[in-house]
Amino acid sequence: MTFPSHVQNYAYGGAAIPAGPMLVRSAAAGAMIAGGWTAVTDLRRMRDDEISRDEAIKHTLCNTAFGAGAGVLLGSAAHLARNYPLAGVAVVLAAGSGALYLAGQKKAKAENGEEPGKAE
């Protein structure tokens, strides 16, 4: 059964999870951005003798992998928001609330004299 285009845009017959090639492209984009940025900053740190060559390579590879994972998550979230607009609004509100909550925790710890990055 074929639906009109204005109905198909709102996930009638659309998948909630994006297709494999889209996930691969999202992962590649995230890996390129994170890996490139880390490589540039680690190269500078390596030239200033802050870190060794092996540490720079390890750090770059780890951040490249994290970037690939973040790319997949962001690509999936964008696909979900595109196919289910109300879900996209809910995700944006939840992410904003979480960011404000974490920022408030860091500020409260700083006011109490605790270091924000330290676990208790």
Give the model confidence (pLDDT) of 28-51 as tens digits: 999 999 999 999 999 999 999 999
Domain ranges in the chain are 16-83, 85-120
User: Distance (Å, rounded) from C-alpha 43 to C-alpha 51?
Assistant: 9
Contacts of 51 (CB under 8 A, 6+ apart): 42, 45, 59
pLDDT greater at residue 57 or residue 6: 57
pLDDT per residue as tens digits for the range 93-106: 787 787 788 777 76
